[in-house]
Amino acid sequence: MNTTDIAVVGCGPVGALLAGELRLAGVDAVVLERSPGPNVHSRAFRLQTATLELLDARGLLEDFLATAVRIPKTHFAGIRPPLLDLDRLDSEHPFTLGIPQSLTEAHLERWARGLGAQVRRGHEVLGVEQDGGGVRLDVEGPGGRYRLDAAYVVGCDGGRSTVRKLSGIGFPGREGTVSALLGDVTLDDPDAFPSGIPGTLRTATGLVMAVAMPGTGVRVFTCEFDRPVPPRDRPVTLDELRAAVRRVVGADVGMREPTWMARFTDASRIVAAYRQGRVFLAGDAAHVHFPIGAQGLNLGLQDAVNLGWKLAGRVRGWAPDTLLDTYDPERRPVAERVVRETRAQVALMNPDERIDPLRELFRELLAIGDVNLHLSRLLTGLDARYPTDVDAGAHPLVGRRAPALRLAGGVRVAQLLRRGRPVLLNLEPAAFTLPAAVLPHVDVVTGREEGAGTAAALLIRPDGAVAWVAGPDEDPQEAGKRLRGTLATYFAGAG
């Protein structure tokens, strides 16, 4: 069949999650992926706390936990000690998860397929055209060239996104100045590796890092700050990696049998528009930055979960078109914050001795509990807040992720979100109701909150963000009036 509701270009982690979100909301999704088989190489190795909350809200967390390791501490800008104490985070999952990207992708693709997403591997998108009625994709598949028609297309096709380029959407930002390499190699003498394994060594010329890779030897990273940055697609050779290590540590390190090598930089860019008519961008297609702090994939997954239910609501007819316009203003500030913070970390990592006093100052700051917590929340995605101008004077929880409250009987908020639908949660004795036009699209749950009263009632979006709150002591009539205003943002016919 060559028509679908939503065409998703790219079956990396972001495309796979988006496809699952769309199917969960009951719309058709075809995923076009140019690579014939699953990705076997992993750039990313960390899932952050906000992502774990999202996986929990879809009932996927147990599978991930079973195949990963919990990491309760992480570093900021390679400064250690002190490390960031993630176990102090205000989350039911106060840690990051060590899991290779290939496994994350496999879990998400299996979930999406299980929900009925059609993943077409070996299908490359070569053309994108849109008009008021839909989008036409020109696709090269194993059986030749064909056309796919969709109501909307989402480019989840990585940093060099074809969808972005073909749509003429700009990708402004900064060129890379750091030349970084990675290589999965076998070391002649792992015990003598200059940084230790795992470890980081910062010298006057750059950084070398090493981590053990399950089954594939050691991953060696180099970062050099004072060299020309080669084109991203120039293949890396073992000699080049060895030479970079030599320049940083001042001695030869024996390494052989590379299984995968890649180059990356600190180029930082955010797309000029997350939406252009019927074309949307998510994940690396919308933003790139240096991979310090392990955030890019996580940021992209949050894009997918922000966009999926909005698109589905539009296709199914219950959401106004203006809801799709909230994607850019909600996700852009989050990406801007990550780009700023990764640039700050890169600046602190610079081996220039003039940076040393700044690192020492940061070392002191990191030992202060509140600073440590602030940076932990920043890196793990917990501090994101969507703009709340739809509801000026809104409760402080509006725009933030739903609080992890429990209902009597032990039901958690994450469990209420498993169907991927909005939830109106009345905390007894509250009894807010919804207009008939909205009722079929929202799960209304009534329960007693265990412990202190967080709120009288909350409207929680499918992505876990709070849309509306009735405060514990608020006049129910006033709160109900505000609820009706909020509903008009999300539901056609609710005004």
Ligand X SMILES: Cc1cc2nc3c(=O)[nH]c(=O)nc-3n(C[C@H](O)[C@H](O)[C@H](O)COP(=O)(O)OP(=O)(O)OC[C@H]3O[C@@H](n4cnc5c(N)ncnc54)[C@H](O)[C@@H]3O)c2cc1C
Write out the residues near ligand X by the rule CB under 6 A: 9-15, 32-35, 43-46, 101, 124-125, 156-158, 162, 182, 264, 283-284, 291, 294-298, 300
If we measure between CA atoms, which residue out of 30, 27, 15 comes closest to residue 315? 27
Is 374:89 a contact under the CB 8 Å cutoff? no
Whose Cβ is closer to ligand X: residue 10's or residue 94's?
10
Whose Cβ is closer to ligand X: residue 32's or residue 346's?
32
Tokens of 292: 């310090």
The distance of closest approach from Cβ of residue 102 to ligand X in the complex, given in angstroms and rounded to an integer, is: 10
Whose Cβ is closer to ligand X: residue 41's or residue 363's?
41
Whose Cβ is closer to ligand X: residue 15's or residue 176's?
15
Whose Cβ is closer to ligand X: residue 33's or residue 330's?
33
β pairing state of 144-155 and 134-141: antiparallel
The distance of closest approach from Cβ of residue 331 to ligand X in the complex, given in angstroms and rounded to an integer, is: 13
Whose Cβ is closer to ligand X: residue 6's or residue 458's?
6
Task: Give me the residue label for tokens 């060299």.
Answer: 227
Whose Cβ is closer to ligand X: residue 11's or residue 405's?
11
The distance of closest approach from Cβ of residue 123 to ligand X in the complex, given in angstroms and rounded to an integer, is: 6
The distance of closest approach from Cβ of residue 11 to ligand X in the complex, given in angstroms and rounded to an integer, is: 6
Angle of helix 296-316 relative to helix 13-24, nearest 10 degrees, comes to 30
Whose Cβ is closer to ligand X: residue 273's or residue 437's?
273
Please report which residue ranges of 354-429 form alpha helices under DSSP H: 356-366, 369-379, 413-416
Whose Cβ is closer to ligand X: residue 43's or residue 310's?
43
Q: Could you give the CA distance from residue 112 to residue 122 in angstroms, rounded to a whole number?
A: 18
The distance of closest approach from Cβ of residue 125 to ligand X in the complex, given in angstroms and rounded to an integer, is: 4
Q: Could you give the CA distance from residue 99 to residue 107 in angstroms, rounded to a whole number?
A: 11
Neighbour-count burial for 279-291, b at 16+ CB within 10 Å, e otherwise: bbbbbbbbbbbbb
The distance of closest approach from Cβ of residue 311 to ligand X in the complex, given in angstroms and rounded to an integer, is: 17
Residues contacting residue 143 through CB under 8 Å, at least 6 positions apart: none
Whose Cβ is closer to ligand X: residue 56's or residue 105's?
105
Cα dihedral sign, 351-355-356-359: negative
First to last CA, the chain: 37
The distance of closest approach from Cβ of residue 347 to ligand X in the complex, given in angstroms and rounded to an integer, is: 19
Element (H, E) at 31: strand 29-33
Neighbour-count burial for 390-420, b at 16+ CB within 10 Å, e otherwise: bbeebbebbbbbbeebbbeeeeebbebbeeb
Helix (H, G, I), strand (E, B) or coil at 255: strand
Q: Could you give the CA distance from residue 288 to residue 282 in angstroms, rounded to a whole number?
A: 11
β pairing state of 46-47 and 79-85: unpaired
The distance of closest approach from Cβ of residue 353 to ligand X in the complex, given in angstroms and rounded to an integer, is: 26
Q: Could you give the CA distance from residue 360 to residue 44 in angstroms, rounded to a whole number?
A: 28
The distance of closest approach from Cβ of residue 324 to ligand X in the complex, given in angstroms and rounded to an integer, is: 19
The distance of closest approach from Cβ of residue 48 to ligand X in the complex, given in angstroms and rounded to an integer, is: 7
Q: Could you give the CA distance from residue 456 to residue 130 in angstroms, rounded to a whole number?
A: 45
Whose Cβ is closer to ligand X: residue 264's or residue 491's?
264
Q: Could you give the CA distance from residue 72 to residue 76 in angstroms, rounded to a whole number?
A: 14
Whose Cβ is closer to ligand X: residue 178's or residue 312's?
178
The distance of closest approach from Cβ of residue 372 to ligand X in the complex, given in angstroms and rounded to an integer, is: 20
Q: How many CB atoms lie within 10 A of CB 479?
A: 19
Whose Cβ is closer to ligand X: residue 53's or residue 284's?
284
Torsion angle of alpha carbons 25, 28, 32, 38, nearest 10°? 50
Q: Could you give the CA distance from residue 210 to residue 213 in angstroms, rounded to a whole number?
A: 9
The distance of closest approach from Cβ of residue 133 to ligand X in the complex, given in angstroms and rounded to an integer, is: 23
Q: How many CB atoms lie within 10 A of CB 192?
A: 11
The distance of closest approach from Cβ of residue 289 to ligand X in the complex, given in angstroms and rounded to an integer, is: 9
